[in-house]
Amino acid sequence: MSAMELVTGVVGPLATNVYVLADPATNEAIAVDTATPSVDWLVATLDRRGWTLKLVVSTHGHWDHIGDNAAVQQRTGAPIAVHPLDRGRLKRPRADYAPFPIPPSYPAVELADRGRIGLGSLRLEVLHTPGHTKGSCCLLEPESGHLITGDTLFTAGWGRTDLPGGSAEQMADSLARLSRLENALRVLPGHGRPTTIGDERAWLDLVAREHRLIA
């Protein structure tokens, strides 16, 4: 099994889960979905554990997942990664419903379906899972059995499809794709408590069979 270490913070008005993954052998780390206000907590976590941040990954471009991207990059120097279909959301954030300004951030790394992110001995696989946004992605770390799902898959549900760039048809296809993963995978969603593919199996399989979202 991988020696991946994982730290989770819950931040902001929508209780966004911010994940920090690290290889303790190299002390290299990746942060996922650096929402506002996470920068101080993140930097303190890195300092306390002696980790160096190598990359910031945005699972998608909604304001409640990207608000501290620019601040984290300024404090750590880590580049930002996002799928190209959500790149514009980071550069020109739509913060109509945000209770605070969302500064623009400028990705230097493009996530691609089936692409790999290396972190010491760890290898994260990118799964492009549109539906919540056009560029929504999940991150699979098979050795430790973790799947970071952003707002694609939650405990007993999925992310909204009625916002700009959302699609119920694409979400159904994305959930069907996740249904083909192993039961033991621990799902780390963008909001709410963790779950497993096995615990969500019944309704995921139903979505896959029906080729549509099930109310």
The predicted-structure confidence for 201-215, as pLDDT tens digits, reads as follows: 999 999 999 999 987
Structure tokens at 86: 């959500």
Which pLDDT does position 95 carry in this prediction?
A: 76
Name all contacts of 21-27 with Cβ < 8 Å and 24+ positions apart. Answer: 21/119, 21/122, 21/124, 21/141, 22/49, 22/51, 22/119, 23/119, 23/120, 23/121, 23/122, 25/120, 25/121, 26/119, 26/120, 26/121, 27/51, 27/52
For the chain, what are the domain ranges?
Answer: 5-210
Separation in Å, CA 143 to CA 3, 77, 186? 9, 28, 11
Render pLDDT for 150-184 as a digit per residue (tens, 0 to 9).
999 999 999 999 999 999 999 999 999 999 999 99
Topology of domain 5-210, CATH: Metallo-beta-lactamase; Chain A (3.60.15)
The answer to whether the CB of 43 falls within 8 A of the CB of 76 is yes
Kindly state the percentage of the chain with pLDDT values over 90.
94
